Amino acid sequence: MGKRIGLLTSGGDCAGLNAVIRAVVRRAHHGYDFDVVGIRKGTHGLLARPVEVEELKPEHDDTALLRLGGTVLGTTNKGDPFAFPMPDGSLKDRSEEIVEGFHALDLDALIGVGGDGSLKILSRLALQGGIPFVGIPKTIDNDVARTERAVGYTTAVATATEALDRLQPTAASHDRVMVLELMGRDAGHIAIAAGVAGGADVVLIPEITWTLPTVARHVKDLRVAGRNFALVVAAEAAQPAGVDSDVIQAAGGVGHWLAVELGRVTGAETRVTVLGHVQRGGVPNAEDRLLGSALGVHAVDLVAQGRTGRMVAWWNREVIDVPLEEVVAVPSVVDPHGPLVRTARGLGICLGDTL
């Protein structure tokens, strides 16, 4: 008798999630004759009564799904089930309700697609409820440990790089300093990659301590050398040394604060672009489609083999799987001495520090 697999997407959306859904459905049906039950709105679908689910059939997974951004199952990045916000303002542990929702579906295993935070929650729920669970990493921030890439990251980098391609000519036309703020709640992977690929002059990430005077000096040096514009990239979590976070927040974020302060210190005309959720949406690029497909297939294979409690990953040009406890222990941030940082420094990109 074939197995019944539950599938959900959790946390913020990104490009490539539907490629994962398609791969899971196709591998389950064509490879093992398994049924796949799609759980809507992440863990919120398991909280609802009745639970919010839909049977995912092969006829629903044509190639159009591969090209579609977002997630057809819906998702949520709010409401930690272990401290769920209630209407009266209190917090309630609703984790057991989710476990009950899973078991009510008579499922043999759960495949969850999530980022660093979502995988921690799903792993904890699986341990509590005895749920055979396989995780698939997705996040534009690329901060999931034990995988070189997560689904959604390369499309986000491509989008950020395109933004720099568009900002450069207008910066040069108007003699301006353009500040581009990118997502990166805890890690600067998008900023450093897009900054190198998009020819930025300054890249600021949370992993490297930076100061306004260092950045201003670099912008001034560019002008002395004959350049009439500059491109500055900042991850949203790139906090300047010696500046209180409340000041940054009051300014509307690091991008707005930096644009104002650079204008004040250097005398340059500045503009700021906060790319925001544009980095999440849109058509997934080929790399995210490939990665999502490969990880989705391997996740179903693990369920078929009874090898749960693991996350599928991409490592050294291969699909592997690793224990979940190793994944949720610590996030993956930019190595200040790693290849991308060395490349940036080698290209003369200012990282805002004194090196």
Catalytic residues: 141
Whole-angstrom distance, CA of residue 55 vs CA of residue 48: 17
Whole-angstrom distance, CA of residue 251 vs CA of residue 37: 45
CA distances from 34 to 19, 241, 312 (A): 18, 54, 19
Structural tokens at position 223: 């002008």
The bridge status of strand 109-114 relative to strand 35-39 is unpaired
Q: What is the widest separation between alpha-carbon atoms in the chain?
A: 74
DSSP letter for each residue of 80-146: -TTSEEPTTS-EE--HHHHHHHHHHTT-SEEEEEE-HHHHHHHHHHHHHHT--EEEEEB-TT---TT
Whole-angstrom distance, CA of residue 344 vs CA of residue 202: 9
Say which residue the tokens 């679908």 belong to. Answer: 45
